[in-house]
Amino acid sequence: MKGIVEERAVELGNYILENKTTVRGAAKKFGVSKSTVHKDVSERLRNVNPQLYHEVRGILEYNKAQRHIRGGMATRRKYCGK
């Protein structure tokens, strides 16, 4: 059973890396919670595949830095109808 979790962590890491997606996007694609994705790629992936972990970490840091911009754009679309 434990091997399945590590495999999922690697799959999530590869998906985030290939698609440059967010934690939310990966969670939706794999049908798991955002918390699960976050734990898999921030804790489990570090032990299973450190190189992939560092690459995914860069994408997640970028997404974190950009989220206030995406949030503002979503609010604008909501109220301006665009």
The pLDDT tens digits of the residues spanning 8-60 come to 999 999 999 999 999 999 999 999 999 999 999 999 999 999 999 999 999 99
pTM above 0.85, yes or no: no
Q: Is the pLDDT of residue 76 over 90?
A: no
Alpha helices in 1-82 (DSSP H): 2-19, 23-30, 34-39, 45-48, 50-80
Band of residue 82 on the pLDDT scale cut at 50, 70, 90: low
pLDDT number for residue 45: 94
Residue type, 32: V
Instruction: Yes or no: say if 40 and 5 are a contact pair by the CB < 8 Å rule.
Output: yes
Burial class (CB in 10 A: 0-12, 13-18, 19+), 41: buried
Angle at CA of residue 63, ends 61 and 67, nearest 5°? 125
